[in-house]
């Protein structure tokens, strides 16, 4: 029998229990790195609805937490994720101090091109390669072309000076950017990569496969983004000088500073050579003498931990001269050429975080390109020719990144562009305008599964709106195996050349007109009764063009041992390209000459597999090998007469035509060795190309080896030996094309052996 006292005590106890469980607490703490520095923007995750982001002091606070046992998860870009079991039961708030270990990768690469946000390379679901500043230095490369050609899946476009192919597409289907902004100034679709000096480059990011969902037009084959160097020390200075065969020289100086809230980098570089000639039997040189200079600067001011302003700019000028040959009225004559190229850009970037979990950036970008060429004829009766081409692009862009919680990140933005070209071949100045919207969502459910989905809508004054979607996933099977898969569409808009070109070369028997003016030109010839026959069924179709586009699929896997002592990756890809624009004969005139116009008529398929492996054989030696198998064909059709069921019929027959100038088998070998006794670095790199079809020399529709239509299999080896003296000086000697492989007929822009010496000074 309970006493009154027991009853009262029991009542108080049962009344207190609900109050105890209704009690809520606040979890607070600070996140540090291993060396004791506070970490801002670290995510602290307690449950689906209980999480926080650290401020500039590394502090976080999670309120209204019921008592109990929890696993708190802390993550930040560049650091190992930390899981910590805690018990919340005290009437006092829990104050935590959590230390994160830095992620250790040999390259420690953080990339931005694949998703427009910073990601660890190992987390990116799309196929991407990173060329680090260290790799560039070891190779002794001075231009972007030199270092790109040593990468798996990238080839030089034969007979196109310093332009590249990627995943079987020509160079005009790859978007080239510096710090996320496009370069302009293509010649016949090719961008001269020798314009880009790598002396101030931090890393180069190569995203393979259509990337228009993020970057818009010209990203049909992929994106190459050159990330320039930021200041990392209170003060530094670097100077270098290189001299080599054929009076090749390359020299420059760069400096950087960091003081209080300001930082900046400045650089100057100059390079040139006497050019080279592969055949004494041919008039003129394969590359004429040139001298180039480039300037770059970047200034940044941080108003606070969350707001900054960056202004950067670049200027490049190249002057050239030399002798060449050309065709006038079906006669080959000698000429002398001289001229220059100017390339400049200015970027202003404002970054801020107006509210918690939201970061925003506004970028204003302006770039100009101009070239001028004078052609002098030996024949005094021929009138000298001057051609001038000026291009410009202005762009304004807004990007927002919103972190919903530890698992979700949404990126969205918009922008507008204005382009112009001024040249005689375009009949004065032509302009285009455009606008775009893009959105992307990243979902990281746990350490295993990571998803990205996004799309971009482009509106343009020259064509209808175009939507580019993408979907990518990465799944980490265990600590060693990762699987990646992606789907996307890329597009290439009709350019000024295909829209407005007005090129009359009647002396050689042809004329080429762009889409915007070809119908009026044909009508003019019709009124003069000069049209003999129309070579296309629907002449009116010449008056409009649609964007070229490609649907891409990539799937691959990576095997990675701890500390990257061994890494193996394989990626299979397929691109189905449609609406490819090509110049075709559309009208034959009564004098036998031809009018060319541009049509959406082609389809193509490129598919293949890339394999890369890197091994650290022992501390001093690293070896890597890469291989690409490529199947690239045009899907064509033509009307043929066939016999069906004993009857003669006419049908459209589809067939495949191998795309020329694309090696079916290609690869690379790289060996880096540090000799420990004298602390000397050796770098040997081989560029391997299998035999491939170049062009149909006799125009019989077949690829024939006995009439010199194939480039033979070959390997080009580059060697660099470097040694550091003290902490400030480094000396390199090396040889490009060590065994002097040349081909004057097919590889006209591949020089012979080049010996060089390079001296670097760092402070």
**Assigned domain for 1 exists:** no
For residue 162, give both structure tokens. 């310093």
Beta bridge partners of 408: 443
**Assigned domain for 4 exists:** no
**Assigned domain for 11 exists:** no
pLDDT at position 2: 44
CA distance 258 to 234: 4
CA distance 710 to 184: 32
DSSP class of residue 386 equals: E
Do residue 132 and residue 72 come from a single domain?
no
On whether the CB atoms of residues 758 and 240 are closer than 8 A, the answer is yes
Nearest 5°: CA angle at 57, between 54 and 63?
A: 45
DSSP class of residue 383 equals: P
On whether the CB atoms of residues 531 and 511 are closer than 8 A, the answer is no
Q: Of 135, 146, 68, whose CA–CA distance to 756 is shortest?
A: 146
Do residue 44 and residue 134 come from a single domain?
no
pLDDT at position 288: 83
Other beta carbons less than 10 A from residue 74's beta carbon: 24
Residue 85, domain CATH: 2.60.40.10
Residue 384, domain CATH: 2.40.170.20
pLDDT at position 484: 94
pLDDT tens across 199-216, in order?
888 899 999 888 888 898
Checking 302-309 for CB contacts under 8 A at 24+ apart, the result is 302/261, 302/262, 303/261, 305/40, 305/56, 306/56, 306/352, 306/353, 306/359, 307/351, 307/352, 307/353, 308/350, 308/351, 308/352, 309/348, 309/349, 309/350, 309/351
Characterise 678 by phi-psi region: left (phi > 0), alpha (psi -120 to 50), beta (else): alpha
Q: Which one of 199, 215, 231 terminates a domain?
A: 215
Do residue 143 and residue 258 come from a single domain?
no
The set of residues, in sequence order, having a beta carbon less than 8 Å from that of 171 and lying 6+ positions away, is: 157, 160, 163, 164, 165, 189, 190, 191
The set of residues, in sequence order, having a beta carbon less than 8 Å from that of 591 and lying 6+ positions away, is: 530
CA distance 54 to 64: 18
On whether the CB atoms of residues 517 and 498 are closer than 8 A, the answer is no
pLDDT at position 16: 43
Do residue 135 and residue 80 come from a single domain?
no
Residue 165, domain CATH: 2.170.130.10
Cα dihedral 582/583/584/590 (nearest 10): 170
Burial class for 573, CB neighbours closer than 10 Å (0-12, 13-18, 19+): buried
Number of structural domains in the chain = 3
Do residue 87 and residue 125 come from a single domain?
no
Do residue 499 and residue 483 come from a single domain?
yes
The set of residues, in sequence order, having a beta carbon less than 8 Å from that of 169 and lying 6+ positions away, is: 220, 221, 550, 575, 577, 606
pLDDT at position 415: 96
Number of H helices, E strands in the chain: 6, 44
**Assigned domain for 5 exists:** no
Do residue 263 and residue 352 come from a single domain?
yes
Identify the three-state secondary structure at position 56.
coil
**Assigned domain for 3 exists:** no
Q: Which one of 66, 100, 134 terminates a domain?
A: 100
CA distance 81 to 405: 15
In 15-89, beta strands by DSSP E: 25-33, 43-45, 51-53, 59-65, 68-75, 82-88
Q: Please state the pTM of the whole predicted model.
A: 0.83
pLDDT at position 93: 55
Strands 25-33 vs 94-100: parallel, antiparallel or unpaired: parallel
**Assigned domain for 662 exists:** yes
Do residue 526 and residue 426 come from a single domain?
yes
Burial class for 649, CB neighbours closer than 10 Å (0-12, 13-18, 19+): exposed
**Assigned domain for 7 exists:** no
Do residue 201 and residue 244 come from a single domain?
no
On whether the CB atoms of residues 34 and 19 are closer than 8 A, the answer is no
Do residue 482 and residue 395 come from a single domain?
yes
Q: Which one of 215, 240, 273 terminates a domain?
A: 215
**Assigned domain for 9 exists:** no
Strands 566-589 vs 531-534: parallel, antiparallel or unpaired: antiparallel
pLDDT at position 576: 93
Regions of the chain short of the pLDDT cut 50: 1-2, 4, 7-9, 11-21, 105-107
Do residue 360 and residue 319 come from a single domain?
yes
Do residue 114 and residue 65 come from a single domain?
no
CA distance 264 to 311: 9
Question: Can you give the residue range of the structural domain that contains 133?
Answer: 110-215
pLDDT at position 158: 55
Other beta carbons less than 10 A from residue 215's beta carbon: 24
């Amino acid at each position: 029998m309970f006493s009154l006292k027991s009853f009262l005590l029991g009542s108080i106890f049962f009344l207190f229990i609900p109050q105890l469980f209704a009690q809520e607490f606040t979890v607070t703490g600070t996140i540090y790195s291993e060396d004791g520095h506070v970490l801002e923007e670290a995510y602290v995750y307690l449950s689906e609805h209980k999480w926080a982001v650290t401020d500039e002091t590394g502090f976080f606070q999670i309120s209204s937490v019921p008592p109990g046992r929890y696993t708190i998860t802390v993550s930040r870009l560049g650091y190992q994720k930390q899981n910590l079991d805690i018990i919340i039961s005290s009437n006092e708030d829990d104050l935590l101090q959590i230390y994160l270990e830095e992620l250790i990768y040999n390259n420690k690469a953080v990339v931005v091109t694949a998703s427009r946000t910073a990601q660890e390379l190992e987390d990116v679901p799309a196929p991407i390669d990173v060329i680090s500043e260290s790799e560039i230095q070891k190779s002794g490369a001075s231009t972007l072309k030199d270092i790109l050609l040593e990468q798996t899946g990238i080839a030089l476009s034969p007979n196109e000076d310093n332009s590249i192919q990627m995943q079987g597409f020509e160079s005009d289907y790859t978007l080239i950017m510096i710090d996320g902004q496009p370069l302009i100034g293509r010649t016949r679709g090719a961008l001269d990569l020798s314009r880009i000096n790598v002396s101030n480059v931090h890393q180069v990011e190569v995203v393979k496969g259509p990337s228009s969902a993020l970057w818009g037009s010209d990203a049909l084959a992929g994106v190459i983004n050159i990330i320039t160097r930021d200041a990392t020390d209170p003060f530094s200075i670097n100077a270098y000088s290189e001299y080599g065969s054929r009076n090749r020289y390359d020299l420059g100086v760069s400096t950087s500073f960091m003081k209080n809230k300001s930082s900046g980098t400045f650089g100057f570089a100059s390079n040139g050579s006497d050019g080279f000639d592969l055949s004494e039997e041919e008039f003129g040189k394969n590359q004429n003498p040139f001298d180039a200079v480039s300037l770059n600067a970047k200034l940044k001011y941080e108003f606070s931990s969350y707001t900054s302003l960056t202004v950067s700019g670049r200027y490049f000028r190249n002057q050239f001269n030399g002798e060449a040959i050309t065709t006038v009225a079906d006669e080959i004559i000698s000429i002398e050429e001289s001229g220059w190229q100017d390339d400049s850009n200015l970027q202003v970037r404002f970054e801020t975080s107006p509210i918690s979990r939201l970061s925003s950036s506004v970028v204003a970008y302006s770039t100009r390109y101009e070239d001028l060429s004078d052609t002098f004829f030996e024949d005094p009766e021929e009138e000298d020719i001057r051609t001038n081409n000026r291009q410009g692009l202005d762009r304004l862009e807004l990007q927002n990144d919103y972190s919903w919680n530890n698992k979700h990140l949404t990126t969205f933005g918009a922008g507008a562009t204005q382009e112009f070209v001024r040249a005689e071949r375009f009949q004065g100045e032509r302009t285009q305008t455009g606008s775009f919207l893009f959105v992307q969502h990243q979902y990281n459910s746990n350490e295993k599964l990571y998803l990205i989905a996004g799309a971009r809508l482009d509106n343009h004054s020259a064509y209808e709106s175009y939507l580019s979607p993408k979907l990518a996933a990465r799944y980490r099977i265990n600590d060693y195996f990762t699987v990646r898969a992606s789907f996307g569409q890329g597009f290439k808009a009709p350019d000024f050349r295909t829209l407005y070109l007005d090129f009359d070369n009647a002396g050689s028997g042809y004329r080429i007109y762009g889409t915007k003016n070809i119908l009026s030109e044909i009508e003019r010839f019709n009124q003069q009764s000069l049209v003999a026959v129309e070579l296309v069924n629907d002449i009116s179709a010449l008056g409009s063009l649609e964007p070229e586009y490609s649907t891409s699929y990539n799937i691959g896997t990576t095997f990675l041992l701890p500390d990257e002592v061994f890494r193996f990756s394989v990626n299979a890809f397929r691109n189905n390209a449609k609406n490819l624009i090509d110049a075709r004969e559309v009208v034959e005139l009564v004098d036998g000459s031809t009018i060319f116009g541009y049509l959406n008529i082609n389809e193509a398929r490129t598919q293949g597999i890339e394999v890369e492996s890197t091994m650290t054989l022992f501390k001093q030696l690293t070896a890597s090998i890469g291989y690409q198998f490529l199947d690239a064909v045009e899907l064509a059709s033509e009307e043929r007469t066939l016999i069906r069921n004993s009857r003669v019929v006419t049908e459209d027959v589809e067939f495949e035509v191998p795309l020329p100038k694309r090696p079916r088998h290609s690869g690379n070998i790289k060996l880096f060795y540090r000799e420990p006794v004298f602390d000397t670095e050796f770098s040997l790199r081989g560029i391997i190309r299998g035999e491939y079809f170049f062009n149909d020399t006799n125009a019989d529709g077949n690829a024939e080896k006995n009439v010199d239509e194939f480039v033979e299999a070959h390997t080009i080896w580059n060697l660099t030996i470097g040694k550091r003296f003290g902490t400030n000086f480094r000396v390199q000697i090396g040889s490009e094309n060590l065994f002097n492989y040349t081909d004057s007929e097919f590889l006209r822009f591949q020089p012979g052996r080049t010996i060089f010496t390079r001296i670097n000074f760092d402070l």
